Every structure is written in structure tokens, then in C-alpha cells.
């Protein structure tokens, strides 16, 4: 039970040597205000040393024996009746038995105790000492007294002695007589009365007095008592189980020399070493009601007291603290609430996990009276520490998205816990380094007596991780590991915390473009996420080499480029006699999240002549590969005479030179003009096996009109189909189909049996409208209007516009996004397909959701690109999805007037789409 080494009560790690005279010297009595306080508690003197006096010092205690001072080592303290209790912060209590070796005993009624405390700081030259004296009066001796202190057991028995023996006492060191029998060095005094001792282990072991004292036992006589004292766990003590409680037993027979002859005194004591039960809230200490080795006759309990730190408590004090003291047939039971202010909590970190213990030192005092009128006073000072109790730190996320700051409070630590560092995603920072980086760290005291720590980190700090979970939403992550130490031994432990917050704070980039006679000009305004995307020009990614070719320029907020219309990244849509319609497709692609951040489809007409008719009869013609004939290889083209092949060709152009009287050119006369015609086409050799056949519908007519006296170019006709639109008259129905895709890849679609399709609020809906069973590249599908209703009836109200006059509805905060159709992603002609996406929403009225189901309807126009029809101006090319306000996702009732049906217009509708109700 005694754990200190070499010196008693060393409060710091280093061990000091014994010193001579200390200075300054302060002499204190009871109730001192210097951090020392002494008082009398029953048969003990108690000295309290405040932590403010002891912290940082090493303590050495000496017993004052007349004019001499004796250093109390741990073994000597246990032998002579001294003990100490010290908490981890230096609050110390020293107990001295009034029957101790170096106590001045006046007739077993008045006791003078003297101690010298030496406090060492930083070495032998810096010493402060205090002399403490205390006089205690104690007259309530029972016939037998048993004291169980924390490091020894003491038992004394009343013993009538002749006058010549009164006042003599036995001290354990160096008391000499003529025979030197049983003498202990360095102590002078009268001869002892006890000369031999028999210990029961439980087998008898006999020792002479000097042998017993050399083994660590103490024997002394006072004016009226015989005293025996034994440290715990000696060879002559033994353990037994009494009523389920483990006890350490000390039993001796002392052979006493009296004037009337030899007497034998039997002494026995039993001290508990267990018997404690714990719950989360209560400590229950069980002591056997009958100590078998001590009492061998009938008895009754005359007095029973509970105390704390050696001091009795009365009933009102016990009630105020919630303490109870009770008995059963076998036990005396003391119940103490965990957390009582008479004890203290302590932090621990086994396996780097936070735990706490609670320690308190209750005292039990019982007076038993036997049938033969002999009484026994039993007093136990029993320090109790609970098992380790895990305490998971309480994490409170106080993050406020409005000011874009993470706030986390980590709390309910004891006062001996100190925050040392924090591990962020970028590394470990001390508290001081974190504060220097602009992070706020505060320590807060809580009403419960514990404390907590508050950390504040801005969203834009470099230690915060970011991810765009949705197109306009940024999710911020702050992984943390708080590093703590436990004082005073600086035991480390850690606790991880992960914080997350999402904000709709993304500003997407925008693209705008213009054209002159030879160039596309594109300007891109970056959003608030910077240039964290790939730029696709046509089907190619913008590389540094390509950027240099397109005169790429950039700064922190914009970049721009100029793309020639004859660039290979430009698609040709239509060719006329004096111009060509070219289109530049640009896409800003987020590869990490696989989504489009912005797009631009810019189409312009550029001056371009395909046919030249020279006065000498030479004709030159240029054939162009259009987007509507993606499989065409221009080098395979020829004139009517298939031996007339291009004099130059590449993957986009074929150039022919011939004369008016060659290559199958025909001639016709009109009044004063002659018309020469030929045709560029693709003719297959039936005897040749083609691995990949081009589109066979390519025909381009070349016409030159010559006057009688001059030659000039008269007209040009481009026919990307097998026949002139008016060459064959027929009739039939064109079928248009609307489908809902599973995702933005448009690879899989919901089937009829999947309806109604369930979607969450604000989840994207991917629609495809396609012209079916047609391969005519001159036909183009245009979405004129699209809208949503509550009912399957497309004319029902309320409704909400999704596409208006072929463009997105700008009154909608979440505008419609048009998706490009690449030529290699479908078997259909790309101009026959339109794809768009919109956000799932619900209709409301007076802030009440009307229904959780919607239907989507569209009016589509089938256009002949060779005819200039007002309704066929093309799908909207404005960049979509860029808004500066937070849009509502719950729609009211709003609808524009629809155009009436025409022979070109097709009406299609989707199946029901159901809103998931628990995410509204």
C-alpha cells in the first residue's frame, strides 16, 4: 500500500539527497494560513498541505523526537504510525497515530506531535522548511483499539501496569540496555516490557523483540496500553475471506514482563482490502459486521460512524452529501455517490482513449461491546478509486453556414486535460500555430465543473477539403484529430472529429460567342471555382498546342479564343451558292464529377463559293462533307463520269476541275443562254467489298450558265439527299417519341412498366425527344414548347413552362439545360434528336403542395432545312443553367399561350413522375 521510493512523499520525479539545516524555518501551530493546517481527528493527528505550497517541490518529512529529527522513509513510516494521502495535483494529507513512535505521550491523554517539512525546489540550495507542532487530547480509549490506515495496521490493548511501568514506551531504534537484548539503534529509553512475540500466519512464528522490530514491526508500551503495529503485506500477516470480503489479518501473542511474573497478551486485527462494489453512480463499501479473528464472543454495535479523510460526519452532513451507512446481518454498508465533492476525479488515457476515475477516502468507525463488557473500537481509513470509466468526448457541431465558418465544441473534460495540438488535413499544428493561422481556439469552463474547447475554422481555409456533390452545391469537409495531454504526467490521447457542411454557392462559368467573316470568337467568364474543368472544342480537348493555334488568352476571371471556321473542330451544317453555315461546339467538362458546367453551340454563315465558271469553259467545284453525312469520305466522290475524280481531297473537302464538254457534263439552251450541268456524287463499285460504307445519299449539282457572248456563274444547288425534295411526290406519317433517361449518359431509359418514376425534389430529369424511322438528313426536329401539368391531360391547369419558343424558361430559377447529341452516340440522325434536362419540382397553392405527381408534355416541329420556315429557326443556343439567385423548386401555376397544331407539329407526353414525399 506504500508506493514511494527512498524518500517519503516525493512530489516530483527526481529523487533528492538528505540535507542539513534548511532555511528559512517557519514554525506553525494549528489552523495556519500558510498552506499548512493541522488538526486532531480521533486517535490521529492530520496535517493538510495545500497544492499551492507543494506544487513544483519535492517533499521530505521528518519526525521530531525531542531534539533530534528522524527522516521518515516509507518503511519507517509504516512501522511507526505515519501515512500520507496525496492527489495528483499536490494536495496532501499526512496522518500521525497518537500512539506513534515519536509522539510525546502524556498518560495516554495528551499527545504532542512534531513534524518538520522540507520543500525542495530546483536543487539543494533552494529549500524551505516548516516545523509543525500539534497537541491532541484523546481519552475515549476502548479496551481494544484497532486502526487500519492506508499503509499499516495498529492494534492496542488496555493493560494494567504497576506504577514503575507507567510512562515507559518502546521505540523502534537504538534503545540500549546493559545486555543489548532487543535494543534498537539511535533511540534511548527505558527497557521494554515485551521480550518475545509469537505471530500467527496462521501457523505460529516466534521472534524476539529485536527480531520483530528488524522485520518492520513495532511494539511499545504506554502508561496503560500495549501497542503492536505491522505494515501491510508482511510475511507474518495473512489474508482471509470474511463474509465475502477479503481481509488482511494480523495476530500476535506478546509475552509481557510484569512485576508479578510473565503475562501473555493476545492481539488481533483484521483490515479490509476489498469489499467495494461499483455502479455508474454509486460506490458501495461492505465491511464484515463480525470480524472473526477479532471477536470470539457475542457482541453488539454500540456506536457506528462514517467519516471522510479521517473526520467523522454527522447525520446532517451525510444527508447533504447523499451518503448512507447501514447494516445487514453480515455487513456494514457505506454508500457514496460517485462525484461527491469530498473526492476528486482524475483523467486517464489507456490505449489513447479518454477515461476517468473517481477517488475518495471514506472512514468507518465502529464500537463493538462484547458480553463480558469489553469493548473494541475499530477505525478504518480506506481510499477507494473507481475502475476506469470511459468517457467519450462530447462533440457539438455549431457550424453556421451563413458566415461560412466551421465551429465545433469538444467538451466535458476534467480540469487536468489540456489541448496540445490539432491534426488538420495539411498536418499537425500546435494551439499557438493554429491561432497564428487565424483559427480561433477557446477554452470554456462549464457549469458542471468540467471544461471544453471551441474551434473555429473558415470554409475557405486551406485545411478544409471541398467537393461539388451537385452542380451548384459545394460540400466542405474538415477532418480533425484533437491531441490532448493529461496533467501532471502529460499522458497523451486523441479524439477524431469530422465536420461537413453543404452550401449552394457555386457560380458556373458562362460562354458567349460572335463571328466575323472568317473566325468564331469565344469569351468564357470563369465562375467562383476557377478553371477547374476541361475545355472541349468540338470533340477535342483544348491542349496547350491547340490553345496556341486558337490564340488562347486568359486572366484570373476570363479566357478567350478565336477559331477559324475552316478548323477541323468546326462542323459544317449547310452549304449554299455563296455561303456555308458552320457551327462551333464548346463544352466545359468537370471530369471529377462527370458533369457539364457550361456549353456553347455557335452557328454562323461565312462567305464561301463552291463553283467557279471560267470563260474558257473550265469549271471548278468544291464538295464539302456536311454534318448530316458523317460517314462520307470526300476522296470517294466523282462526277457523272466516274473516271473524273477529285484533283485534291482530304477528310473534309474534295476539289474538282473539268471542262464543260467533259466528265458527262450536259448542255441545255434557254433563249440567249446555255446551261451546263454535272453532278458530284458517290457511286459504288458492285464488285468491291467495302468495310465501311459512307452515306450513299450525297448528291451535289453543278450548274454554269453561259450567255451567247460571255460566260458567268448562274446558280448553285446542294442536295444532301438522293433526290430533289420535289422529284418524288408521296405522303406518310412521321413518328416522334419522348423518353425519360436514367442519367445524363442517355444510355438507358425507363420502360413503360417503370412508371410512375419516383424522383426526389431537385433531382435532374433527363428527357429525349426523337424523330423515329427516318434517315433524311434534311429533316430537323425542333422542340417548340414543353411544360408540366398535374394531370395527364396536356391542356389541364395548373401548368409550368419548361421550354418556351424553343428556349429555356428564363422565369424559372433552375433553367432547362439542352444537351448535345454527338453523331457517334446513336444510330439515328443527330438532327432528329433533342435532349434536355430539368429539375424535379412540385406544384403549390397558398404554400401547400397540390399533388406529388407531374406529367411533362412537348410540342415538336419537324422542319425541312432546305425551306426557310419561320418556326424552324433552330433550337435555343443560349448557355443554360447560370443564374444569380436561389431559385424555388416548388412551382406555382404559370403558363403561356400555346401555338395551335399544324401539319408539321407533333405532340408527345411523358408518363407520370412521382415526387418522393419525405425529401420535400
Of 90, 35, 53, 2, give the one whose Cα is nearest residue 487.
90
Q: What is the DSSP letter of 638?
A: B
Contact partners, residue 57, CB within 8 Å, separation at least 6:
11, 12, 119, 120, 121, 128
CA distance 673 to 666: 14
The shares of helix, strand and coil residues in the chain, as percent rounded to the nearest 5, are: 5, 50, 45
| Residue-level pLDDT at 494 | 96
795 CB-near residues (< 8 Å, 6+ apart) = none
CA-CA-CA-CA torsion for 877, 883, 884, 887, nearest 10 degrees?
A: 160
State how far the alpha carbon of 283 is from the alpha carbons of 280, 315, 332, 348, 564, in Å.
8, 19, 14, 19, 88
Q: Is the pTM of this model over 0.85?
A: no
Strand partners, 102: none
Q: Is residue 191 part of a domain?
A: no
Distances, alpha carbon 566 to alpha carbons 512, 687, 822, in Å: 20, 36, 20
Question: Do residues 400 and 388 touch, judged by C-beta distance below 8 A?
Answer: no
Do 603 and 616 belong together in one domain? no
CATH number at residue 136: 2.60.40
Point out the residues of the chain with pLDDT beneath 50. Answer: 1-33, 162-192, 694, 709-732, 877-903, 918-920
| Torsion from C-alpha of 686, 687, 688, 694, nearest 10 degrees | 0
Q: What is the CATH number of the domain that holds 627?
A: 2.60.40.3210
Q: pLDDT digits over 466-503, tens only?
A: 988 788 888 999 999 999 999 988 999 999 999 999 99
Whether the Cβ atoms of residue 394 and residue 417 lie closer than 8 Å to each other: no
**Which uninterrupted H or E stretch holds 547?**
helix 544-549
Contact between 338 and 386 under an 8 Å Cβ cutoff? The reply is: yes
DSSP for residue 105: E
Q: Which of 433, 468, 503 is the last residue of a domain?
A: 503
Q: Is the CB of residue 42 less than 8 Å from the CB of residue 145?
A: no
Check residue 193 and give its pLDDT: 73
Q: Express each pLDDT in 713-766 by its tens digit.
A: 333 333 344 433 332 333 345 788 999 999 988 889 998 888 888 888 888 999
Distance CA 787, CA 859 (A): 9
Q: Which of 503, 531, 564 is the last residue of a domain?
A: 503
- Verify that 584 and 666 share a domain, yes or no: no
718 found inside a domain: no
Q: Tell me: the pLDDT tens digits for 449-471?
A: 899 999 999 999 999 999 887 88
Residue 194, burial from CB neighbour count under 10 angstroms (0-12, 13-18, 19+): buried
**Residue 768 and residue 681: Cα distance in Å, rounded?**
34
DSSP state at residue 193: S
User: What is the per-residue pLDDT for 422?
Assistant: 97
Same domain, yes or no: 628 and 582: no
Query: What are the residues whose beta carbons fall under 8 Å from the beta carbon of 686, sequence distance 6 or more?
Result: none
Same domain, yes or no: 491 and 518: no
Of the candidates 47, 139, 45, the one whose C-alpha atom is nearest the C-alpha of residue 98 is 45
Residue 108: domain span: 36-140
Show which of 546, 579, 607 is a domain's final residue.
607
Is 29 part of any domain?
no
Quote the CA–CA distance of 289 and 368 in Å, as a whole number: 10
Q: Tell whether 45 and 128 lie within a shared domain.
A: yes
Number of domains in the chain: 6
Spatial distance between the Cα atoms of 409 and 399, rounded to a whole number of angstroms: 10
User: Residue 749 carries which DSSP code?
Assistant: B
Between the two ends of the chain, the Cα-to-Cα distance in Å is: 66
Does residue 907 sit in the same domain as residue 767?
yes
On whether both 341 and 410 belong to a single domain, the answer is no
Q: Is residue 514 part of a domain?
A: yes
Tell me: do 380 and 282 sit in the same domain.
yes
Which has the closest alpha carbon to 586: 525, 537, 632? 537
- The answer to whether position 588 is within a domain reads yes
Amino acid at each position: 500500500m506504500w508506493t514511494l521510493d527512498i524518500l517519503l512523499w516525493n512530489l516530483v520525479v527526481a529523487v533528492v539527497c538528505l540535507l542539513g539545516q534548511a532555511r528559512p524555518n517557519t514554525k506553525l501551530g494549528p489552523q495556519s494560513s500558510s498552506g499548512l493546517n493541522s488538526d486532531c481527528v480521533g486517535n490521529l493527528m492530520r496535517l493538510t498541505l495545500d497544492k499551492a505550497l507543494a506544487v513544483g517541490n519535492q517533499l521530505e518529512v521528518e519526525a521530531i523526537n525531542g531534539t533530534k529529527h528522524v527522516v521518515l522513509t516509507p518503511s519507517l513510516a509504516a512501522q511507526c504510525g505515519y501515512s500520507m494521502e496525496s492527489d495528483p495535483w499536490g494536495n496532501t494529507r499526512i496522518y500521525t497515530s497518537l500512539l506513534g513512535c515519536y509522539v510525546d505521550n502524556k498518560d495516554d491523554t495528551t499527545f504532542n506531535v512534531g513534524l518538520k517539512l522540507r520543500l525542495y525546489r530546483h536543487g539543494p540550495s533552494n529549500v524551505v522548511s516548516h516545523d509543525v507542532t500539534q497537541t491532541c487530547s484523546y481519552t475515549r480509549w476502548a479496551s481494544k483499539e484497532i486502526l487500519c490506515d492506508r499503509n499499516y495496521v495498529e492494534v492496542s490493548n488496555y493493560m494494567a501496569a504497576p506504577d514503575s511501568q507507567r510512562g515507559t514506551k518502546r521505540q523502534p531504534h537504538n534503545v540500549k540496555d546493559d545486555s543489548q537484548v532487543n535494543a534498537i539503534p539511535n533511540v534511548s529509553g527505558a527497557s521494554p516490557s515485551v521480550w518475545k512475540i509469537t505471530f500467527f500466519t496462521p501457523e505460529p512464528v516466534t521472534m524476539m523483540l529485536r527480531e520483530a522490530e528488524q522485520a518492520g514491526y513495532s511494539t511499545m508500551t504506554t502508561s496503560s496500553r500495549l501497542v503492536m503495529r505491522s505494515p501491510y503485506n508482511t510475511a507474518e500477516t495473512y489474508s482471509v475471506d470474511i463474509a465475502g470480503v477479503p481481509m488482511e489479518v494480523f495476530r500476535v501473542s506478546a509475552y509481557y514482563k510484569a512485576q508479578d511474573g510473565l503475562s501473555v497478551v493476545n492481539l488481533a486485527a483484521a483490515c479490509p482490502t476489498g469489499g467495494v462494489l461499483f455502479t455508474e453512480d454509486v460506490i458501495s463499501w461492505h465491511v464484515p459486521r463480525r470480524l472473526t479473528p477479532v471477536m470470539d464472543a457475542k457482541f453488539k454495535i454500540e456506536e457506528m460512524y462514517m467519516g471522510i479523510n479521517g473526520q467523522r460526519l454527522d447525520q446532517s452532513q451525510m444527508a447533504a452529501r447523499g451518503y448512507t451507512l447501514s447494516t445487514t446481518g453480515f455487513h456494514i454498508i457505506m454508500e457514496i455517490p460517485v462525484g461527491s465533492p469530498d473526492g476528486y476525479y482524475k483523467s486517464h488515457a489507456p490505449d489513447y482513449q479518454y477515461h476517468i476515475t473517481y477517488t475518495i477516502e471514506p472512514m468507518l468507525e465502529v464500537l463493538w461491546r462484547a458480553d463480558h463488557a469489553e469493548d473494541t473500537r475499530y477505525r478504518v481509513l480506506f481510499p477507494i478509486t473507481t475502475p476506469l470509466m470511459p468517457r467519450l468526448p462530447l462533440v457539438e457541431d455549431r457550424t453556421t453556414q451563413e458566415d461560412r465558418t466551421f465551429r465545433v465544441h469538444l467538451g466535458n473534460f476534467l480540469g487536468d486535460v489540456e489541448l496540445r495540438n490539432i491534426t488538420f488535413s495539411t498536418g499537425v499544428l500546435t494551439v499557438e500555430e493554429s491561432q497564428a493561422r487565424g483559427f480561433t481556439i477557446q477554452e470554456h469552463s462549464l457549469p458542471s465543473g468540467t471544461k471544453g474547447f471551441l474551434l473555429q475554422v473558415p470554409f475557405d481555409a486551406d485545411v478544409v477539403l471541398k467537393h461539388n456533390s451537385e452542380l451548384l452545391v459545394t460540400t466542405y469537409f474538415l477532418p480533425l484529430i484533437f491531441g490532448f495531454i493529461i496533467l501532471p504526467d502529460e499522458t497523451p490521447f486523441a479524439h477524431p472529429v469530422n465536420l461537413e457542411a453543404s452550401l449552394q454557392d457555386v457560380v458556373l462559368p458562362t460562354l458567349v460567342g460572335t463571328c466575323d467573316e472568317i473566325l468564331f470568337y469565344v469569351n468564357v467568364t470563369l465562375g467562383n471555382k476557377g478553371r477547374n474543368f476541361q475545355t472541349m472544342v468540338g470533340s477535342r480537348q483544348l491542349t496547350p498546342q491547340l490553345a496556341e493555334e486558337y490564340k488562347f488568352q486568359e486572366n484570373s476571371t476570363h479566357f478567350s479564343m478565336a477559331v477559324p471556321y475552316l478548323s477541323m473542330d468546326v462542323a459544317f451544317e449547310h452549304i449554299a451558292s455563296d455561303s456555308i453555315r458552320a457551327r462551333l461546339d464548346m463544352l466545359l467538362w468537370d471530369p471529377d464529377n462527370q458533369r457539364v458546367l457550361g456549353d456553347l453551340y455557335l452557328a454562323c454563315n461565312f462567305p464561301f463559293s463552291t463553283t467557279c465558271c471560267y470563260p474558257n469553259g473550265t469549271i471548278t467545284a468544291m464538295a464539302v462533307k456536311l454534318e448530316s453525312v458523317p460517314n462520307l469520305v470526300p476522296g470517294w466522290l466523282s462526277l457523272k463520269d466516274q473516271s473524273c475524280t477529285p484533283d485534291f481531297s482530304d477528310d473534309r473537302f474534295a476539289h474538282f476541275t473539268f471542262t464543260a464538254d467533259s466528265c458527262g457534263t450536259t448542255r441545255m439552251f434557254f433563249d440567249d443562254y446555255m446551261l451546263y450541268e454535272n453532278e458530284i456524287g458517290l457511286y459504288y463499285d458492285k464488285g468491291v467489298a467495302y468495310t465501311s460504307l459512307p452515306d450513299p445519299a450525297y448528291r451535289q449539282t453543278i450548274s454554269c450558265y453561259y450567255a451567247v457572248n460571255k460566260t458567268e456563274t448562274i446558280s448553285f444547288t446542294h442536295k444532301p439527299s438522293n433526290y430533289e425534295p420535289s422529284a418524288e411526290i408521296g405522303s406518310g406519317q412521321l413518328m416522334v417519341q419522348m423518353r425519360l433517361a436514367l442519367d445524363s449518359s442517355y444510355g438507358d431509359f425507363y420502360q413503360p412498366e417503370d412508371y410512375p418514376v419516383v424522383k426526389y425534389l431537385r433531382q435532374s430529369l433527363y428527357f429525349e425527344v426523337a424523330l423515329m424511322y427516318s434517315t433524311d438528313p434534311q429533316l430537323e426536329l425542333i422542340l417548340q414548347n414543353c411544360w408540366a401539368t398535374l394531370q395527364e391531360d396536356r391542356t389541364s391547369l395548373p401548368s409550368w413552362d419548361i421550354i418556351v419558343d424553343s428556349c429555356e424558361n428564363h422565369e424559372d430559377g433552375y433553367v432547362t439545360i439542352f444537351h448535345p447529341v454527338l453523331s457517334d452516340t446513336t444510330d439515328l440522325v443527330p438532327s432528329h434528336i433533342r435532349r434536355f434536362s430539368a429539375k424535379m419540382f412540385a406544384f403549390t397553392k397558398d404554400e401547400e403542395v397540390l399533388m406529388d405527381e407531374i406529367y411533362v408534355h412537348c410540342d415538336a416541329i419537324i422542319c425541312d432545312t432546305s425551306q426557310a420556315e419561320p418556326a424552324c429557326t433552330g433550337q435555343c443556343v443560349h448557355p443554360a443553367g447560370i443564374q444569380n439567385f436561389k431559385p424555388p423548386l416548388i412551382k406555382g401555376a404559370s403558363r403561356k399561350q400555346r401555338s395551335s397544331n399544324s401539319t408539321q407539329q407533333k405532340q408527345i407526353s411523358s408518363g407520370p413522375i412521382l415526387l418522393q414525399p419525405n425529401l420535400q
